[in-house]
Copies of this chain bind each other. A is one copy, B any other.
């Protein structure tokens, strides 16, 4: 029967808390998860969470550990070849990132962006300042109105994120990166090359 006080050994409790927080935030979203629940999952007293991280918002920020900068990977994917096939490479990059070790963080952000205005804003900024900017810089001189194009591309990618990682619809959820890139790639290619003056003109 452990009473109170410090534990034996040197357990990395801080990291255990973060892991539990990431898992739960990703699975249920920010408001549906209580600090107590996270503490229970981490096998820790709730007060310890506040001791380490402060408020619940602070814990969330620590758990998602922004900024995750996908800029370089996107740029590399775009530079790996010409405009043809760029969509497939882009899609493959995205899915790889989301399937990778940052999965829980990213899903947590996406889920929370839908219900928490501050997170929604952060999402928008991340999209505009990293993704759109990177795309612009890399292929901005081969193509016009990159901002509009990037938003259409974003709409398709966001749809994949939702159906694959949040709603987990089949077959989206279980396709692998190659299949998705192959199937979605041409859509993105088209958004990169189609004429968009009539839309861009209205800013």
Contacts and interface: CB of A to CB of B under 8 A. Distances in A.
A172 B155 contact: yes
A11 B160 CA distance: 46
A171 B199 contact: yes
B179 A199 contact: yes
Chain A interface size range: 35 or more
A84 to B, nearest CB: 16
What is the oligomeric copy number? 2
Nearest to A159: B159
A56 interface: no
Interface in A131-162: 148, 151-152, 154-160, 162
A97 interface: no
Interface stretch (A26-34, A42-50, A59-67): A26-34
A183 B152 contact: yes
Interface in A157-203: 157-160, 162-164, 166-167, 169-172, 174-175, 179, 183-184, 186-187, 190, 194, 196, 198-199, 202-203
A188 to B, nearest CB: 9
A109 to B, nearest CB: 12
Contacts of A174: 202
A115 B156 contact: no
Contacts of A162: 114, 155, 158-159, 162
Contact of A159 (B114, B148, B158): B158
Contact of A115 (B32, B152, B154, B175): B32
Interface stretch (A1-9, A16-24, A98-106, A120-128): A120-128
A113 interface: yes
26 contacts: A29-B115, A31-B32, A32-B115, A111-B114, A111-B115, A114-B115, A114-B167, A123-B167, A151-B169, A151-B171, A152-B184, A155-B156, A155-B159, A155-B162, A156-B159, A157-B159, A158-B158, A158-B162, A158-B163, A159-B160, A162-B162, A171-B202, A174-B202, A179-B198, A183-B196, A186-B194
